[in-house]
Structure 1
């Protein structure tokens, strides 16, 4: 009988230890998962910021390149007018294309930029009006 009590107490002790160790490991598992999640979210935010900075710098560089291109076209046009006579200018079709491009670039600078509309001027499609409007349309 003493052996039975001893064996039962060992089994109960083993089960209690196994349950206790399992419950504490799950808590540490949750903590490690939460730490990993926080670290991943922080890395994602850093990556988003880096991408945003990259696109801002790229936009700035493109604007500078665009300004330099406009200046180059203007310089070439002015130099051609100053250095070439009428006959030489007439023989160069590239010069005329460059002048037109320069005019277009300066016209773009002068125009006020507007964001495009997301809709057309008049309704169209299947839901273009009421039944009365549809009845008034002549059938051809």
Structure 2
């Protein structure tokens, strides 16, 4: 009886081991499903990245166009306000800051001035001996 009970316990152990190994291991089909899902997620992420990039490029272009249109309107209003509003009327001059800027730009362009980033002071990059050598 001891040999028969040993065989029964051995068969029960093998059966339990078999079922536990089946439960613990993944089915072969789930790997293929996970790979497919991974590829789908990668494709969706790439598509989303392209949409974001396109959105920012379009937004930047639209903002640039809007700035140019605003500048054109401002220039038009500044030039027309000077010619349409007579100086006899006691109203503040509209767009005075822009007109002053235009006049200043015209005088700076006509004169040969130093660049705005130029300094008459030494930068301190070279010692006195190095300046004399060059």
Give the TM-score normalised by the residue count of structure 1: 0.56
User: Deviation of residue 69 (structure 1)?
Assistant: 0.8
User: Deviation of residue 83 (structure 1)?
Assistant: 0.9
Change (3 A) 1:95 1:19: closer
Q: Which runs of 5+ in 1 are unaligned?
A: 108-122
The alignment partner of 1:61 has SS state of helix
Matching residue of 2:95? 95
Inter-partner Cα distance in structure 2 for 1:83 and 1:94: 11
The alignment partner of 1:92 has SS state of coil
Matching residue of 2:17? 15
Change (3 A) 1:78 1:84: same
Inter-partner Cα distance in structure 2 for 1:82 and 1:42: 60
Matching residue of 1:50? 51
Matching residue of 1:80? 81
Inter-partner Cα distance in structure 2 for 1:16 and 1:95: 89
Structure showing the higher helix proportion among its residues: 1
- Matched residue pairs, number? 111
Moved more, 91-100 or 42-51: 91-100
Deviations along 1:84-139, one digit per CA (max 9) or x if unpaired, are 234459x53443213245x39x99xxxxxxxxxxxxxxx98xxx78xxx69x69xx
Alignment of 1:29-40 (within 5 A): 30-31=31-32, 33-40=34-41
User: Deviation of residue 79 (structure 1)?
Assistant: 1.6
Q: Quick check: which has more Rg, 1 or 2?
A: 2
Give the TM-score normalised by the residue count of structure 2: 0.58
Matching residue of 2:120? none
User: Deviation of residue 11 (structure 1)?
Assistant: 1.1
